Structure formats: C-alpha cells, structure tokens
C-alpha cells in the first residue's frame, strides 16, 4: 500500500501537466522549443507547472514570490523519493 501512495505522489504533477496540456491553452506561447516542456514533464514536473503559473499569473515577472516558489518546486522535484532507511534493532 505505501508503494501505491508513492507512485500516486510521484505521478500527480505529471497527470496535472497532461490534463492542462489536453484541455487548456496553458502551455501555448510560453515555450519556443517543444523540447523544454517534454524535458520538464520527464524530470521536473512541479517546476514546469510553477514556471507556467508564473508566466500566466505573474505575467512573467520574477519577483520574490515566484522565485521562492521556483526554489520550493525545485526542492520538491529534486528531493529523493525515499527517505533514509533506519536500522531497526530487534532484540
């Protein structure tokens, strides 16, 4: 069961990207090269979502709030999926 939750958590940003790509114009006109959204989808989906949110909601202005948001998104994307395993001593 925990593996199912991990798979859902890792897949959620990618599902949101696919839904936005299919049903909205969220990604149109932001990227000049189609490779960047594909790479973002594969490697940094949360960062891709925040970057497009900044382009839409903040009109591309990188002030304090968008910069803090992109740092948090990068930390989410780059954090390890599993925590360190602790040794359990059984007596």
Give the H or E element holding residue 13: helix 2-23
Task: Report the 10 Å Cβ neighbour count for 17.
Answer: 20
Is 85 a domain residue? no
Is 87 a domain residue? no
Is 86 a domain residue? no
Q: Structurally, how many domains does the chain consist of?
A: 1
Rg for the chain (alpha carbons), in Å? Answer: 16
> Three-state SS across 40-75?
HHHHCHHHHHHHHHHHHHCCCCCCHHHHHHHHHHHH
Is 17 a domain residue? yes
Is 36 a domain residue? yes
Q: Which residue has the higher pLDDT, 7 or 52?
A: 52
Question: pLDDT per residue over 11-56, tens digit each?
Answer: 788 888 888 888 988 888 888 888 888 888 889 999 999 999 999 9
Where in the sequence is the domain holding 20, given as residue range(s)?
A: 2-78
Distance, CA of 86 to CA of 83 (rounded, Å): 9
């Amino acid at each position: 069961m925990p593996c199912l939750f991990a798979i859902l958590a890792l897949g959620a940003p990618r599902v949101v990207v696919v839904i936005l790509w299919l049903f909205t114009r969220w990604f149109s006109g932001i990227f000049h090269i189609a490779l960047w959204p594909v790479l973002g989808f594969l490697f940094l989906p949360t960062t891709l979502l925040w970057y497009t949110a900044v382009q839409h909601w903040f009109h591309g202005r990188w002030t304090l709030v968008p910069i803090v948001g992109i740092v948090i998104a990068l930390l989410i994307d780059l954090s390890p999926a599993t925590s360190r395993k602790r040794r359990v001593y059984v007596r």
